[in-house]
Amino acid sequence: MHATRKPFFLWRHLNKLRWLTLATVFSMLVLLPFLHVYQTYVAAHAYDLLAPQEQELYDTMEALTAPFVTDPAEDLDAVKGNTWSGNLFGLKLSDPLAALSQVAAGMNLYTPFLLTALIPVVFTLLFGRFYCGWICPASFLYELNSNFAILLRRIGLSTGHRKLDRRFKYLVLGAGLVLSMLTGSVIVAAIYPPAVLGREIYYAVALGGFGAGAVFFAATMLFDLMVAQRGFCRYLCPGGALYSLLGRYRLVRVQRVVENCNDCAKCNAICEFGLDPLRDGFGQECNNCAACIAVCPTDALTFEIRPSDIAYQGPGHLGKRYQHRQRRETPPEVEATA
């Protein structure tokens, strides 16, 4: 009679894949500076000075990158940089926010650089804020941080759960672009957590000691703990604002299958961004992280290809509210047939 539409069975395991990607990106961010340090040893013909584990790491990365470089002296240069701007197996990629704020700061268009942001922009147009949920190295720490907040709540400490205005981050993005224009420097880079994190890890590993960004990042973690869960991403992050805008008409969206929903509201509880999947409230902030799909006990959430959200579909058909209403509406018919 109902429950005909089942989501593809792999969608509920996407969340694990997402954690794997986040962890990979983050560990690369730590490993690449180390590899750079080893590289200088190797370049100085001091390969033997590396510890055996370091040699193993170096050899593995060398084997992975060797097909992508022509000169053996440039081994390992095929994977460099961070998510702000980097080189991924010879493919130069940059953050769309980096491109935008650099255009604002310099007031000129440098095409080779803008082209490096093209692939991320296309992906954002298709998948919305996927960068925030799947790649952002700061997200990795912020999600761990919100898990830490759960621990804190369990031992009786209260963590912040204030509701601010989500539109504030668009203002932060605008202010960043205007300030970049006025000061003539890419000022957004100083407060955009993935850029800050990538750079600070590199400073700490290869150059010794953190810069000012580490303090800023610690402050954002505290903000998340004390003001709102994932508060920085939801209310302040200029990059999140840009991706939300780009992803407004994204094609791939998580949607609710009303026939399977039983109104349990687990999706609302799990959503890191405080969205409202239960009432079809995904909006442009959804980062397709698929955590709600993984937690749904009745397979009522799935990916759909459509340029806008489905309007509120009413209470879930397996829930009590819907069934009460049905019973109230159906008795006359039942009597008539009986």
Partner 1 sequence: MRRRTLLQRLMYATGIAAASTLPYGFGRLATPEVQADPRTHLRPPGALKDDDAFNAACIGCGLCGEVCPPRCIRFYRREGGYRVNTPYINPEEKACTLCAKCMEACPTEALTETPRNEIDMGIAQIDRSACYPWVDRGICGACVSICPLGERAIGFKYWNQYQPVVKSECVGCGLCVEVCPHPSLPIRIVERSQGTVAPHRL
Residues that bind partner 1 (CB under 8 A): 32-33, 36-37, 39-40, 43, 74, 77, 80-82, 84-87, 92, 94, 98, 101-102, 105-107, 110, 112-113, 116, 168, 171-172, 174-176, 179, 183-187, 189-191, 195, 198-199, 202-203, 206-207, 209, 211-213, 215-216, 219, 236
Amino acid letter for position 231: G
Cβ distance to partner 1 smaller for residue 119 or 190: 190
Cβ distance to partner 1 smaller for residue 47 or 203: 203
Cβ distance to partner 1 smaller for residue 141 or 195: 195
CA distance 196 to 84: 9
Cβ distance to partner 1 smaller for residue 211 or 281: 211
Shortest Cβ distance from residue 53 to partner 1 (Å)? 21
CA distance 128 to 238: 15
- First vs last Cα of the chain: how many Å apart? 20
Shortest Cβ distance from residue 70 to partner 1 (Å)? 12
Shortest Cβ distance from residue 286 to partner 1 (Å)? 23
User: What is the enclosing helix (H) or strand (E) of 91?
Assistant: strand 91-94
Q: Are 18 and 296 in contact (CB under 8 A)?
A: no
Q: How many other C-beta atoms lie within 10 A of the C-beta of residue 31?
A: 16
Cβ distance to partner 1 smaller for residue 208 or 332: 208
CA distance 306 to 144: 32
Shortest Cβ distance from residue 163 to partner 1 (Å)? 16
Shortest Cβ distance from residue 26 to partner 1 (Å)? 16
Q: String of b and e for 283-319 (b: at least 16 CB within 10 Å)?
A: bbbbbbbbbbbbbbebbbbbbeeeeebeeeeebbbbb
Cβ distance to partner 1 smaller for residue 40 or 330: 40
Shortest Cβ distance from residue 213 to partner 1 (Å)? 8
3-state secondary structure of 36: helix
